Amino acid sequence: MNRARVFSVIAQAMGAAAFVVPQVAVAQSEQLGNPLLPIPLIGVTTIDQPGLSVTPSGEVAYDDNIFRTNENRAAPVDDIIVTPAVRATYQRQVGHNDLRVDGDFAYSFYTRNTDRSRARADIEGTGTIRVAGICQIQPDLRFARQQADYGDINGPVDNFQTFSTVAVKASCPRAVGFFPLAEVSRRTTRNTTQFDFADQTLVSAAGGIGYARPSLGQVALFYRYSRADRPTIGVVNRIDEAGVTFNRAVVSRVELNVDLHYLQARSQGANVRPYHGPGWDVDLVFRPIPRIMFKGEAGRRIVNDSLVPSGFTVQSDYALNTEWRFAERTTLRGGAILGRRQFRGDPLVIASPFSSDRFSSLTLGLTRAMGERLNLTLDGQRTSRRTNTGLNDYDANRAAAGVSYRF
């Protein structure tokens, strides 16, 4: 890899964007692979509403810092954003097999900064193919195109991201006893030329042995190998995971998903400090009464496609969400996220102006159902981020009102 080319890419991106920084965006936090568990038992359909469902929606939001800038370095820019959107879902059962296609399409109109108005699209196809009545294959195809969250950029610079996923999961689940599990996937991230240092192709393969029993739930021992190729900066990351995953639903009030594993991440082509240590993903859902739900999540994982110029990122995050249906048609929602990232890169090639950051997000929302198909929503969010140097700290507040109607 030509180091002059690397310095040119990084300098151009930082000069235009006032240093590139990460955000809580889902696309940038995607796990290396889908959990091998839970696996639905043979004969259990995942189709809830067969046929085509179309839900148009509209949202009006006020954001007081759309470019996620540090107020000590540049005055925050606010805007009112109008976003019409449509979500379409098609589900069908063909014999013993299930098919589902989801599509989300939206266009965000910035009323003041009109040159920032952009479209986004996300299409995903999933299914369950049952083989010989004892095994099943679950394909997953996804394509998404969107403007990167400005929290990743810290300035009025556009970066269009394209994500693709091709994955297949296979298993032969049993109600009682041992069964095999396997998964292969290929995920790509592509950015515009100015940010192509974040381009990557991630290929992973996993296998395991599961065990199921009604009184226990599902448990599996697994191993996953992943290889992330980042050609622009000449880095190849290899990640090995080995551990145990567990899933259990205790009556109707408690659901538990636990993934505990040992992580080993190392890079080739650059002097990037490796990571050896624990990784985890824990989800707990608790419903003390039918109208109230609490969900807690905690995780540590390796992220390869962060828009910070680094070899890879060690990310830890914690979340708590709750829903309270305090009236027949009215639901109150709340949530909090706390996270930390540690960026590891070659100090001579892909150095970043900071080595770690912390982020937090608080949300509060209200949904009112007006009949069976019409929903009204109100949402508020405050997002904060702090870096170890303080250069890319920011705070942002957002309030939104929306309406949706399901056909």
d(CA 148, CA 194): 13
Q: Name which of 236-240, 362-366, 388-392, 395-399 the model is least confident about.
A: 388-392
Q: Judge whether 301 and 31 are in contact, CB under 8 Å.
A: yes
Which tens digit of pLDDT belongs to each residue from 39-51? 777 766 667 778 9
Burial of 372 (0-12, 13-18, 19+ CB in 10 A): exposed
The whole-model pTM stands at 0.86
CB atoms inside a 10 Å sphere around CB 139 = 15
The answer, yes or no, to whether residue 315 has pLDDT greater than 90, is yes
The answer, yes or no, to whether residue 273 has pLDDT greater than 60, is yes
**pLDDT value, residue 48:** 72
Average pLDDT over residues 95-100: 90
Q: Judge whether 369 and 375 are in contact, CB under 8 Å.
A: yes
The answer, yes or no, to whether residue 185 has pLDDT greater than 60, is yes
- Would you state the structure tokens that stand for residue 122, as one six-digit string? 């996300």
Confidence of residue 94 (pLDDT cuts 50, 70, 90): confident
**pLDDT value, residue 305:** 79
Write the secondary structure of 126-183 as one string of H (helix), E (strand) and C (coil): EEEEEECCCEEEEEEEEEEEEECCHHHCCCCCCCEEEEEEEEEEEECCCCCEEEEEEE
Please tell me which residue, 336 or 23, carries the higher pLDDT value: 336
- Please give the share of the chain, as a percent, with pLDDT higher than 70: 88
State the sign of the Cα–Cα–Cα–Cα dihedral 67, 69, 75, 80: positive
Q: Judge whether 56 and 373 are in contact, CB under 8 Å.
A: no
Q: Name which of 172-181, 215-224, 340-349 the model is least confident about.
A: 340-349
Mean pLDDT of the chain: 87
**pLDDT value, residue 32:** 46
Residue 261 phi/psi, 5-degree rounding, is -155, 165
Confidence of residue 38 (pLDDT cuts 50, 70, 90): confident
- Please give the share of the chain, as a percent, with pLDDT higher than 90: 65
**pLDDT value, residue 2:** 43
CA dihedral 345, 346, 347, 349 (to 10 degrees): -110
d(CA 140, CA 1): 34
Average pLDDT over residues 146-164: 89
274-303: b (≥16 Cβ within 10 Å) or e: ebeeebebbbebebeeeeebebebbbbbbb
Average pLDDT over residues 199-209: 95
- Would you state the structure tokens that stand for residue 294, as one six-digit string? 């609490």
Residue 49 phi/psi, 5-degree rounding, is -135, 90
Instruction: Output the CA–CA distances (angstroms, integers) from residue 136 to 10, 13, 43, 153, 372, in the order listed.
Output: 45, 45, 10, 42, 35
Please tell me which residue, 35 or 161, carries the higher pLDDT value: 161
CA dihedral 254, 26, 108, 397 (to 10 degrees): 80
List the beta bridge partners of residue 228: 202, 237
Average pLDDT over residues 66-92: 94
The answer, yes or no, to whether residue 350 has pLDDT greater than 90, is no
- CB within 8 A of 253, min separation 6: which ones? 286, 287, 288
Half-sphere exposure of 384 (CA within 13 A, CB side): 6
d(CA 301, CA 343): 12
Residue of 281, 289, 218 lying closest to 252 (CA atoms): 289
- Would you state the structure tokens that stand for residue 200, as one six-digit string? 């990557």
Helices first, then strands: H and E counts in the chain: 1, 18
Confidence of residue 304 (pLDDT cuts 50, 70, 90): confident
The answer, yes or no, to whether residue 30 has pLDDT greater than 80, is no
Give SS3 for 5.
helix
Q: Judge whether 113 and 90 are in contact, CB under 8 Å.
A: no
Average pLDDT over residues 328-336: 96
Which tens digit of pLDDT belongs to each residue from 2-23? 443 433 333 333 333 333 333 3
- Would you state the structure tokens that stand for residue 138, as one six-digit string? 């679950």
**pLDDT value, residue 310:** 79
Average pLDDT over residues 128-143: 92
Rounded to the nearest 5 percent, the helix, strand and coil shares of the chain are 10, 60, 30
State the sign of the Cα–Cα–Cα–Cα dihedral 324, 39, 140, 309: positive
The answer, yes or no, to whether residue 24 has pLDDT greater than 80, is no
Please tell me which residue, 299 or 26, carries the higher pLDDT value: 299
